[in-house]
Structure 1
Amino acid sequence: MTAVEAPVEAPPVVRREPRRWQGPAAFAAVALLALVVAPLLLEPFRLGLLAKYLCYAIVALGIGLAWGQGGMLTLGQGVFFGLGGYAMGMYLKLHDAGGDLPDFMVWSGVEKLPALWTPFGNPVFALAMAVAVPVVVALLLGALVFRQRVRGAYFAILTQALAAALVILLVGQQGLTGGTNGLTNFFDFFGQDLAADETQRGLYLTVAVVLGVLYLGARQLVRSRFGRLLLAVRDGEDRVRFLGYNPATVKTLTFAVSAGMAGIAGALFVPVVGIISPALLGVVPSLELVVGVAVGGRFALAGAILGAVVMGYARTYFSEELPAAWLYLQGALFVLVMTLAPRGIAGLAAGLVRRRREAGT
């Protein structure tokens, strides 16, 4: 009679806990690259281009917060970007004029400084308005729209129409806004020559630091109780409403935060690039920012930033190397990423890391 063998128990599966230091370490590495390595290696022109990409990345961060975390597809962030940019541009034009009328007003036949422009001679007021005006506009729009439960494609079309309306308004006010040309020919920035390499390097560092601070703030917001509520609204707005919360308030506040980020980006963009015009804040620029967020990965804040930088660099590279076909190549890049990685570059990277962890368990 044979003895019954006892079943051999399989060894327990040891699951590796995610390393908590990986996120801070990656942030520190990127910060070191942006604040130390880039200014040392890049020539002033290329550093200025990178500063411009980072300004777009700030707008993309707000889009990632509103769209990726809150489910609000906003196609009109150029509106808030432009409001912040024009606030800064008005101060710079008045400062350069030295008490006289700005040059474009003289050419347009304006004889007296408009009352709207007068307070913007104060830099503190101009900086405050660059943030406050976009936030107030977003709060008013959100209170009107989200309370009526407008969402999805209807909200996206509404924001797109707002961007188109703002462009028409700015173009039609030649003596007040510079019309099609916008505001340009800036020479001085808080006592510094804007054409000097040191000034541009300082502006780049300022943009990089502001982006880092806003990213950390947005990341903390997403991880907070409000952030969890925001994700719940994105995934099941009606269920959140049945639980006693008001989704309209959550979405309005998030939309206002994203608008404030776009206003800050616009205020930084003006001294970096030297111009703010209706062509930079219409429907097409707003759509390009959304495309950048989609390429980077809208569900990850870092992905939204990465996508904006990648699309900005791709636009510059293709336009320099293949000026006749760069639009097609940029579109092909978008199609390629969306086909191979529907969740963007960040989603693709996260999937690779997850599979690597599973294979190592």
Structure 2
Amino acid sequence: MDRRLFDKPSTTLIALLGLSIVLVPVLNLWVPAGNVFHLETYTVSLLGKYLCYAILALSVDLVWGYLGILSLGHGAFFALGGYAMGMYLMRQVGDRGVYGDPLLPDFMVFLNWTELPWFWHGFDQFWFACVMAVVVPGALAFVFGWLAFRSRVSGVYLSIMTQAMTFALMLAFFRNEMGFGGNNGLTDFKDLLGFSLQSDTIRVGLFMATALGLILTYLLCRAIVSSRLGALAIAVRDAESRARFVGFAVENSKLWLFVVSAAIAGIAGALYVPQVGIINPGEFAPLLSIEIVVWVALGGRATLYGAVIGAVIVNYAKSWFTVEFPEIWLFALGALFVAATLYLPKGVTGLWTKQETSQ
């Protein structure tokens, strides 16, 4: 077993996720309602949503923590993956929609579209939607990264460009003529692979798929950062000019990791949409991309497991504050971020690192 791949925090995280894959179905499906140990279906969906965000945070930590690229555009890759899955779910509605058209989604009928756009073809197949959820964000990242890295754009300028890309996509998807539902987006999904999305079984299955997806993407990221490519990424982060001077293909390493991280964000989006039941242009909002960076910073940059922890903590805190303190939840979250910056400069995981160093 490679100790670099399965260090203590990674092993603990994978074990906890594996345990959740076993316990959540048992507590939801087999423990009767009313029992103190019963897990509500709503909670299962909420946990699945947190794990989707954890996968998204992993994608950002891969490029920001280890490569030094502060991307404020990963919300776009996340949304594109979500739209790919949403298009499949819309095609599955068929004639059960409001207008009863077996081919056109309801919003197209409402807008007097007469035929299905070419880019919607193929999304009646689940495997095609899964492939597109990875390929489309990856292709966008490849084009953007190839142009930006070859021009040696870096630092704050690159961050601004990624945010501008996200904002431009958001404005484009708000337009009805784009064919993605406009302001309302895609919603009113019925089933997935023939199973009703409202059933407890499919909700549990989606959670299990998300937890497994988080394990696999985490192992992929660990394998990358533990490899020679990961060592090169750290060298580029710490001394890009020196790495380029000694002959390393800096632009290629940046491009490769940027594309991989975008594909991971697309996977997170594809898992997210069936669990929340909607995807709209709001997911492209630059604020989401900024929030992802906050998750990573709070958990602990350049640790991977810290990104997972930060995403879960922040989103759980957001859910809790909105219920318990609906009028001041934004201020409470702001206070949490300020306190973390002042007292946890290396994130939550920095506390454990500090304890291990002192022992």
Same fold (TM over 0.5): yes
Deviation at 1:34, TM superposition (A): 2.3
* Mapped pair 1:78 → 2:85: no
* Mapped pair 1:191 → 2:191: no
> Compared with structure 1, are the counterparts of its residues 318 and 214 closer, same or farther at alpha carbon in structure 2 (3 Å cutoff)?
same
Question: Hey, what's the Cα distance between the residues in 1 that align with 2:357 and 2:188?
Answer: 50
Q: Percent identity?
A: 45
Deviation at 1:69, TM superposition (A): 0.6
Q: Tell whether the 8 Å contact from 1:183 to 1:276 is kept in structure 2 after alignment.
A: yes
Count, aligned residues: 338
Tell me which moved more, 114-123 or 158-167: 114-123
In the alignment, what sits opposite 1:205? 208
Question: Hey, what's the Cα distance between the residues in 1 that align with 2:238 and 2:182?
Answer: 42
Q: Tell whether the 8 Å contact from 2:172 to 2:178 is kept in structure 1 after alignment.
A: no
Query: CA deviation digits over 1:150-183, x for unaligned, max 9?
Result: 1111111110111110010000135611111110
Q: Tell whether the 8 Å contact from 2:92 to 2:190 is kept in structure 1 after alignment.
A: no
Q: Tell whether the 8 Å contact from 1:299 to 1:343 is kept in structure 2 after alignment.
A: no
Q: Tell whether the 8 Å contact from 1:104 to 1:175 is kept in structure 2 after alignment.
A: no
Deviation at 1:338, TM superposition (A): 1.2
2:227 aligned to which of 204, 224, 231 = 224
Q: Which letter does structure 2 place at the counterpart of 1:22?
A: K
Query: CA deviation digits over 1:247-306, x for unaligned, max 9?
Result: 111111111011000100111111111111111221011111111111111121000111
In the alignment, what sits opposite 1:93? 90
Question: Hey, what's the Cα distance between the residues in 2 that align with 1:119 and 1:266?
Answer: 19
Question: Hey, what's the Cα distance between the residues in 1 that align with 2:284 and 2:46?
Answer: 18
Question: Hey, what's the Cα distance between the residues in 2 that align with 1:25 and 1:212?
Answer: 10
In the alignment, what sits opposite 2:108? 105
Structure-2-length-normalised TM-score: 0.91
Q: Tell whether the 8 Å contact from 1:108 to 1:175 is kept in structure 2 after alignment.
A: no
Q: Tell whether the 8 Å contact from 1:73 to 1:152 is kept in structure 2 after alignment.
A: yes
Question: Hey, what's the Cα distance between the residues in 2 that align with 1:149 and 1:178?
Answer: 37
Q: Is there any run of 5+ residues in structure 1 with no aligned partner, and where? A: 1-17
In the alignment, what sits opposite 1:247? 250
In the alignment, what sits opposite 2:43? 46
Question: What value does the CA root-mean-square deviation take over the aligned residues?
Answer: 1.6
Question: Hey, what's the Cα distance between the residues in 1 that align with 2:324 and 2:239?
Answer: 46
Query: CA deviation digits over 1:48-93, x for unaligned, max 9?
Result: 0110011111110000000001100001111111111111111110
Deviation at 1:21, TM superposition (A): 6.6
In the alignment, what sits opposite 2:59? 62
* Mapped pair 1:30 → 2:27: no
Structure-1-length-normalised TM-score: 0.90
* Mapped pair 1:258 → 2:266: no
Larger radius of gyration: 1
* Mapped pair 1:349 → 2:352: yes
> Compared with structure 1, are the counterparts of its residues 123 and 44 closer, same or farther at alpha carbon in structure 2 (3 Å cutoff)?
same
Question: Hey, what's the Cα distance between the residues in 1 that align with 2:11 and 2:310?
Answer: 20
* Mapped pair 1:331 → 2:303: no
Q: Tell whether the 8 Å contact from 2:10 to 2:305 is kept in structure 1 after alignment.
A: no
In the alignment, what sits opposite 1:235? 238
In the alignment, what sits opposite 2:272? 269
* Mapped pair 1:286 → 2:272: no
